[in-house]
Amino acid sequence: MKYRSLGRTGIEVSSVSLGGAYLMGPDESRQEDTARAVVECAQQLGINYIDTAPLYGNSEKLLGRVLVGMASEFHVSTKVGFDPDNFDYKRDSVLESLERSCRRLGVEQLAVAQIHEVDKAGGQRILEKGGTLEGLRAAQERGLCRYIGITGRAIPLLSELAATGEFDVVLFYHDYHPCVQLAGAALLPTAAEQGMGVVAATVLGGGLYVAGAAQEQALGKLGSAAERRRAIEILARLAEEDGTLPQAAFRYVLADERISTASSGAANPAQLREVAEAADMEPLTQETMEYIAEV
Which residue in the list 22, 49, 56, 173 is annotated as catalytic? 56
CB distance 267 to 34 below 8 Å: yes
Alpha carbon distance 290, 214 (integer Å): 27
CB atoms within 10 A of CB 255: 11
Q: How many residues does the chain have?
A: 295
Q: Which residue, among 78, 61, 75, 67, has the nearest Cα to 36 in the 3D structure? A: 67
Alpha carbon distance 177, 139 (integer Å): 33
For the question of residue 56 being annotated catalytic, the response is yes
Q: Which residue, among 198, 210, 179, 197, has the nearest Cα to 22 in the 3D structure? A: 210
Alpha carbon distance 125, 206 (integer Å): 30
Exposed, middle or buried by CB within 10 Å (0-12, 13-18, 19+), for 170?
buried
Which residues belong to the active site?
Answer: 56
